[in-house]
Amino acid sequence: MLPGSPAGAHRLDEYLQAARVDLDLTRVEVRLALTPGVDVAETIVREIDVDRDGVLSQREQAAYVSCVLEAVHLDVDGHTARLQPTSSRFPAAADLKGGEGTIMIRLRADVPELSAGAHRVHLANTHHAEIAAYLANVLVPQTPRIEITDQRRNANQSDLTIDYVMRR
């Protein structure tokens, strides 16, 4: 038998950023799960905890969500869709530093109801690209009127294009 290597959620020196895209008739929601590996966690905590008191205040959390939002771009059928934060959840700074905490951010773009036919959503995430490990997927739509026909990602999954059909 050959010895195996232990399985892990992600490498210690990366900032795992998992994006899940939820399409609905009049909105697109992006759910981000951001998990820094222990080797980069201190950098992320310092970026959030600007007053260096060891507590991630609501103001600091909101500022970090805004920073993430600046690096996430969404368009629908080639037109920019303005994402707005709808919720966020931050673990304690100590949990992040230990490589065990995940920051959860939900973003939403309201879009006019689209006509029947083919449509495309494009998501790009460049947040901390120098240390990021990206994942991107579309969720199964809750309405039968939307059928996902294709998903395409770039090599590192920072870029996701979703083709779908809207039915009447």
Q: What tens digit of pLDDT does each residue of 130-147 get?
A: 999 999 999 999 999 999
**Contact assessment for residue 131 and residue 14, using Cβ atoms and an 8 Å cutoff:** yes
User: Has residue 9 been placed in a domain?
Assistant: no
CA distance 118 to 143: 16
Pairing status of strand 27-36 against strand 15-23: antiparallel
User: Has residue 93 been placed in a domain?
Assistant: yes
User: Has residue 71 been placed in a domain?
Assistant: yes
Q: Check residues 31 and 9 and name the one with the higher pLDDT.
A: 31
Count of domains forming the chain: 1
Report field, pTM of the whole predicted structure over 0.85:
yes
What's residue 10's pLDDT? Answer: 54
Tokens 């495309």: give the residue.
Answer: 120
Work out the percent of the chain whose per-residue pLDDT is above 90: 90
Q: Which domain holds residue 33?
A: 15-166
Tokens of 65: 């969500």
User: Has residue 84 been placed in a domain?
Assistant: yes
- Closest by CA to 160, choosing from 31, 2, 61, 51, is 31
User: Has residue 73 been placed in a domain?
Assistant: yes
pLDDT tens profile 50-96? 999 999 999 999 999 999 999 999 999 999 999 999 999 999 999 99
